[in-house]
Amino acid sequence: MSCVVAVMGEISFGRIGSGLTSTIHDDGSVSTVPDKWCDCCELTRNAYGGFEVKDATGEKVMWLCSQCRA
């Protein structure tokens, strides 16, 4: 009899319209972060790992998700 083991990494999920994304991490902990609108890909993305672009006055003018930031 052979045995197969599947190893899973982190998983993220969110309820449509809730504005929140929850992530179950490798260690079993759960974190919830707000979703934001990405100004580059124009999709609602998880705010974790995003990047704010500010102008000279310090006002936020753009937000990029982690995929567009890379």
Cα–Cα distance, 10 to 62 (Å, whole number): 28
What does the pLDDT read at residue 6? 66
Q: Are 10 and 25 in contact (CB under 8 A)?
A: yes
Confidence (pTM): 0.56
Q: Residues 50, 69: contact at Cβ < 8 Å?
A: yes
How far is 61 from 55, CA to CA, in rounded Å?
7
pLDDT in tens, 43-61: 888 788 888 988 889 888 8
> Is a pLDDT exceeding 70 seen at residue 3?
yes
Measured on CA atoms in the order 55, 64, 48, 70, is the torsion positive or negative? Answer: negative
pLDDT digits (tens, 9 = 90+) for 20-38: 888 888 888 998 888 888 8
Q: Helical H runs in the chain?
A: 66-69
